[in-house]
């Protein structure tokens, strides 16, 4: 799978791409992630990418030309284009599974006051990561890329996806986990996890998942 992220701030991605599971997935060629500065596509003599809004108002608006040209240059018949915007469809784990199916994604990060609305003409999905406004789409693009990459075959142990919170097949929260020591400041590990009986452990975990979901996110059980 290939993900191209269009941004004006490529260095924001340095830490994201060079650590932990994402770095390992790239090194193992399980995913290709390209950070593309769409300023490079500007036809303006000064590589301008934004301008004042028609009709007046505060802030600067991203111009359609550099982003349009970048998308046209990078896309082929297998590509889906995502625009990150607070007014997009709310992101969730189900959407991560949907996006994982595509061979190539282009993610457009807005910045400043917003973008020329005509950018929407090249977009397949408009996504928001929540009902709040960020300074740009860079953090949302990392969040979305992270959720997709960990679902790509071979990136992490597949069994762990099954128990992920919000897995669309179960719609449950993950069960509680423990590690050494067996006792910490009087708090103990549930006895069932120590007895080596896999069937009992499985039943206990499912019960705990349901209990936790009932307590914390009853709305998930209604789905």
Applying CB under 6 A, the span of 14-22, 131-139, 154-162, 185-193 interacting with ligand ADE comes to 131-139
Smallest Cα–Cα separation from 64: which of 84, 75, 50, 45? 50
**Residue 140 annotated among the catalytic residues of the structure:** no
Q: Output the CA torsion sign for 212, 215, 221, 223.
A: negative
Q: Which one of the listed residues 2, 150, 205, 217 is annotated catalytic?
A: 150
Which of 98, 113, 126, 174 is the catalytic position?
A: 113
User: Is the CB of 94 or the CB of 211 nearer to ligand ADE?
Assistant: 94
Query: 71, exposed or middle or buried, with CB in 10 Å at 0-12, 13-18, 19+?
Result: buried
Task: Judge whether 86 counts as a catalytic residue.
Answer: yes
Cβ-based nearer residue to ligand ADE, 61 or 172: 61
Q: Is the dihedral of CA 109, 10, 70, 53 positive or negative?
A: positive
What's the closest the beta carbon of residue 135 comes to ligand ADE, in angstroms? 7
- Least separation in angstroms between residue 110's CB and ligand ADE is 6
Residues in the chain: 223
Distances (CA, A) of 63 to 12, 33, 36, 195: 21, 24, 16, 63
Tokens of 119: 């950018």
Q: What are 90's two structure tokens?
A: 């709310």
Task: Tell me phi and psi for residue 206, to 5 degrees.
Answer: -65, -45
Q: Between residues 10 and 86, which has the closer beta carbon with respect to ligand ADE?
A: 86
Q: Nearer Cβ to ligand ADE, position 130 or 176?
A: 130
129 belongs to the binding site for ligand ADE (CB under 6 A): yes
Active site residue 190: no
The encoded tokens of residue 95 equal 């959407």
Q: Does 130 bind ligand ADE (CB under 6 A)?
A: yes
Q: Is 164 a catalytic residue?
A: yes
52 Cβ neighbours under 8 A, 6+ residues apart: 60, 61
Nearer to ligand ADE, 31 or 143 (CB): 143
Identify the active-site residue in 10, 53, 69, 86: 86
Near ligand ADE in 68-97, by CB under 6 A: 84-86
> Which residues make up the interface to ligand ADE (CB under 6 A)?
84-86, 110, 128-130, 132-134, 137, 140
**Which residue numbers are catalytic?**
86, 113, 150, 164
């Amino acid at each position: 799978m290939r993900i191209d992220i269009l941004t004006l701030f490529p260095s924001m991605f340095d830490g994201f791409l060079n650590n932990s599971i994402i770095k390992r997935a790239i090194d193992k060629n399980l995913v290709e992630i390209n950070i593309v500065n769409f300023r490079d596509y500007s036809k303006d003599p000064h590589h301008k990418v934004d301008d004042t809004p028609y009709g007046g108002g505060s802030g600067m608006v991203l111009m359609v030309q550099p982003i349009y040209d970048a998308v046209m240059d990078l896309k082929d018949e297998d590509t889906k284009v995502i625009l990150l915007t607070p007014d997009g469809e709310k992101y969730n784990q189900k959407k991560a599974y949907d996006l994982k199916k595509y061979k190539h994604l282009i993610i457009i990060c807005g910045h400043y006051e917003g973008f020329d609305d005509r950018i929407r003409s090249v977009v397949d999905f408009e996504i928001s990561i929540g009902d709040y406004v960020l300074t740009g789409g860079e953090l949302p693009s990392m969040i979305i890329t992270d959720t997709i990459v960990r679902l790509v075959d071979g990136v992490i142990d597949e069994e762990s996806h099954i128990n992920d919170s919000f897995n669309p097949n179960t719609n449950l929260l993950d069960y509680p986990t423990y590690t050494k020591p067996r006792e910490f400041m009087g708090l103990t590990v549930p006895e069932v996890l120590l007895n080596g009986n896999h069937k009992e452990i499985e039943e206990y975990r499912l019960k705990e998942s349901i209990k936790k979901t009932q307590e914390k996110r009853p709305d998930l059980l209604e789905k």
